[in-house]
Structure formats: C-alpha cells, structure tokens
Amino acid sequence: MKPMKTALIGCGAIAGNHLTAIGKIPGVEPVALCDAIPERAEAAKKKYAPTAAIYTDYKKMLDEARPDAVHIATPHYLHCEMACEALARLSRKTGLYLRRGNRPHDRSRAEQPGEAHGLFSKSI
Ligand SMILES: NC(=O)c1ccc[n+]([C@@H]2O[C@H](COP(=O)([O-])OP(=O)(O)OC[C@H]3O[C@@H](n4cnc5c(N)ncnc54)[C@H](O)[C@@H]3O)[C@@H](O)[C@H]2O)c1
C-alpha cells in the first residue's frame, strides 16, 4: 500500500507533537513542512522528518507535495484561509487537521468546501 503523505503548516511550539504522533503511525509519511520562518522548518525536518521537503510558501507546498493529509498548526487567524486552500486542492482521500481554537464562523466557512467534496473536516 502506498504511504499516506502528510504535510504540516506551521513549525512552531506544537509542531513537534504532531510530527511525533505522525512518526508513530505505520504507513504515514511526513513529506513536507512549511513555516514562514525557514529556520523553524529546517529544525523540524532535522529532528522529526529528515526526508521531508521544506517550504516557506504553503500554497506552493500544497501544489508541489500534493499531500493526502494536511496539519495546520499556525496562529488561529490563518486557519480558515489555509484550510480553504488545502481543501480546494484536495482529492477525495485528503484529510485536514486544524488545531483547536479557530473561530466558529471561520470553522464553518472552512468546512463548506470539505462538505462539498463529501469529506470530513474537523477542528479539535
Ligand atoms: N503550543 C501549544 O501548547 C498548543 C496547544 C494546543 C493548541 N495549540 C494551537 O496550535 C496552533 C499553533 O500554536 P503554536 O503554539 O505552535 O504557535 P507558534 O507561534 O509557536 O507556531 C506557529 C508557527 O506558524 C508559523 N507561521 C505563521 N504564519 C505562517 C504562514 N503564513 N505560513 C507558514 N507558517 C506560518 C510561525 O512562523 C510559527 O513558527 C495554534 O492554533 C494554537 O492555539 C497550541
């Protein structure tokens, strides 16, 4: 079976938790990491995902890495835009994980494209 390709946007304080969890799931591969501050993405790559590609532009990452699942771990105000961009590029098997705390009206806006594709998107 082909590995599930995951990508992470935001390599700050909580990113290590995500990448540690991803690393424990058989068949799941972190293929790309993005942070606006490249040193943060580099540090996460070195520690958790040595084969992952590094990006500072998350849209470029989504277009090039074509992940099956996207973890969004950026500040709240960016969640909606990033979720919509991820969902707009998704295939039917794409998953989306949003860190908790995004505003309810943004959350429902981000869920609309997912529902249109018959997908499940969830904010925890
Ligand atoms: N830190 C925690 O213990 C914790 C716990 C639960 C939930 N969360 C949630 O996780 C999310 C991230 O929190 P954090 O503590 O890791 O924040 P953080 O500020 O440490 O990390 C956020 C990262 O996002 C990057 N970023 C900002 N704009 C970007 C952009 N346009 N493109 C790419 N990267 C960008 C920043 O450079 C930074 O490295 C938040 O929604 C937060 O509420 C954090």
The answer as to whether 27 is a domain residue is: yes
pLDDT for 1: 82
The answer as to whether 89 is a domain residue is: no
pLDDT for 124: 43
Mean pLDDT of each 10-residue bin along the chain, 124 residues long: 93 97 95 98 98 98 94 93 87 59 53 52 47
* Ligand 1 geometric centre to CA of 73 (Å): 5
The answer as to whether 58 is a domain residue is: yes
Residues 6+ apart with CB under 8 A from 48: 16, 19, 20, 22, 23, 30
Domain count, the chain: 1
- What is the CB < 6 Å shell around ligand 1? 9-15, 34-37, 40, 58, 73-76, 78, 99-101
- Shortest-distance Cα residue to atom 21 of ligand 1: 12
The answer as to whether 39 is a domain residue is: yes
Q: Which atom, in ligand 1's list, is nearest to the CA of 56?
A: 33
- Shortest-distance Cα residue to atom 5 of ligand 1: 14
Phi, psi of 30 (to 5 degrees): -75, 110
The answer as to whether 18 is a domain residue is: yes
- Give me the domain span that covers residue 27: 12-68
pLDDT for 123: 47
The answer as to whether 100 is a domain residue is: no
* Ligand 1 geometric centre to CA of 28 (Å): 22
